[in-house]
Amino acid sequence: MIEPLMHFSIAEEIAALRAEEGYRERDRSSRTLAKETDFRVLLSALRAGAALDEQDGDARASVQVIEGSATLGVDGDETVLEAGELAIVDAGQPWLLEARSECAVLLTLAWPREKAGV
């Protein structure tokens, strides 16, 4: 699914997510923008109170809030991320992201090659 060069309009992708049934009728909608065995880029539009819960934490993750705000919890620590802010979570750390307001989040996940089955 990854091509030599991929280009996205994040604003257009967010608008498309918010137009989907999953967002209109539930609390979130997500789209995988890039996918490879050991790498993912995921864009999610979340309503206030929605959560993304990464239980195993096998992947190293970057969490960038594009719009709105969210709370990121890792191993008992919490930080509030506002639009334009980025957090990095190391591999091996389960994490929980909770939308404090309607928000859009760009997640990048990279697994160690041995965990990815490569």
Tens of pLDDT, residue by residue over 21-54, are 889 899 999 999 999 999 999 999 999 999 999 9
Q: What is the largest CA-CA distance in the chain?
A: 39
Measured CA to CA, the distance from residue 70 to residue 24 in angstroms comes to 20
String of b and e for 19-36 (b: at least 16 CB within 10 Å)?
eeeebeeeebbbeebeee
The pLDDT-based confidence of 14 (bands split at 50, 70, 90) is very high
What pLDDT was estimated at residue 2? Answer: 87
> pLDDT tens across 76-103, in order?
999 999 999 999 999 999 999 999 999 9
- Domains annotated for the chain, with CATH where assigned, are 29-116 (2.60.120.10)
* DSSP-derived secondary structure letter, 23: H
Alpha-carbon distance 28 to 45, whole Å?
A: 6
User: What does the pLDDT average to over 7-31?
Assistant: 95
Q: Whole-prediction pTM value?
A: 0.92
User: What's at 78, amino acid-wise?
Assistant: E
What's the pLDDT at 112? 81
